[in-house]
A = this chain, B = another copy of it.
Amino acid sequence: MLSTRGYAAKSASAALAPFTFDRRDPGPDDVLIEIAYCGICHSDIHQAKDEWGGAIFPMVPGHEIVGRVARVGSRVTKFKEGDLAGVGCFIDSCRVCASCKDGLEQFCEAGPNWTYNSTEKDKKTPTFGGYSSQIVVDERYTLSVSPNLPLESVAPLLCAGITTYSPLKYNGVGRGQKVGVVGLGDLGHMAVELAHSMGAEVTVFSTSPAKEKDAKRLGADSFVVTKDPGNLSPLANRFDLILDAVSAPHDLNAYLNLLRRDGVMVLVGAPEKPAAVNAFSLITKRRKLTASLIGGIRETQEMLDYCAQKNIVSDVEVIPMAKVNEAYERTLKGDVRYRFVIDMKTL
């Protein structure tokens, strides 16, 4: 076994603190990655505080993992020692269900083996995430990372990047289309960059006038301050796709009404309470309301390659490991532009 240093929550009410645990020795299909950076996703906080229920403690969060391959198993072909590699939200899945066979492992019918707060394929051994010195993952669930981008800014692509790339691709966003992005945060800022890079005309909807400059820098063509509902109505029936990245309760119908006939609204934020959807908002223009969940391994690799080619990364603030609890507080206040990333050298 490989002794591994990390930071863990010991209970739902405890701050994260140093924690040492064992990783398995790499098997023939495994890659051992020395972790360089790990992003802080809002879902890390939800889970460390057991807000979704069923938390497994001690919990080492982190599923936006990038680093360098330190060792490979005898059957590994995709990686060699020294390569850059990434790990996202899951480290395995059943591999046999229809979703796994379709390369959509995030929808694995047995449930994917999540990167932390879950179990390995034996359904017993807890998984520990990327707030740690190293990780061992089957090469099939390990992503190749280009050396051409700043590594710390690549880390958030493994969750925030694929979460926004997947619905844009799946719904056919391309040149000339009008895309709305609701909320300029961790997900929203990626959505703006990606939709702009795909040729769409991008409008950002935000409650914060102060974010207009960032929105334009990231590629937005227009910026709409949503505190005044009168700003929305002139945009009725305009958008091909609206990506809603807001988790706080808000009125979906106001945005549904901005979609053209057959337009699609995709939820990537996940409000805890059900949203009130007016059937007439859908009926009058045959609009669609849907949602999206990260992406499969094949699509995640496609997204990483696309971002390397288009020079797309996340806006990050790099912090030392010891500041993770402070970063959690700041994330909850929205005081980050747009993702904290932990520098694992500081562990």
Contact = CB atoms under 8 A, between A and B. Distances in A.
Interface of A: 98-99, 104, 107, 109, 170, 237, 252-253, 261, 267, 269-271, 274-280, 282-293
A246 to B, nearest CB: 11
B284 A293 contact: yes
B275 A277 contact: yes
Nearest to A107: B261
Contact of A293 (B252, B271, B286): B286
A209 B56 CA distance: 44
Given A270-B280, A277-B277, A261 B104 contact: yes
Contacts of A261: 98-99, 104, 107
B291 A287 contact: yes
A291 B261 CA distance: 11
A277 B279 contact: no
Central interface residue in A104, A282, A286, by most chain B CB within 10 Å: A286
B286 A279 contact: no
Nearest to A287: B290
B285 A288 contact: no
Contacts of A284: 107, 293
Contact of A289 (B237, B270, B274, B290): B290
A290 B282 contact: yes
A46 B292 CA distance: 37
A155 B102 CA distance: 45
Given A107-B285, A261-B107, A279 B290 contact: no
A279 B283 contact: no
A292 B286 contact: yes
7 contacts: A253-B274, A267-B283, A276-B277, A282-B289, A282-B291, A283-B293, A289-B290
A102 to B, nearest CB: 8
Contacts of A253: 274
A59 B275 CA distance: 37
Contacts of A276: 274-277
Contacts of A109: 237
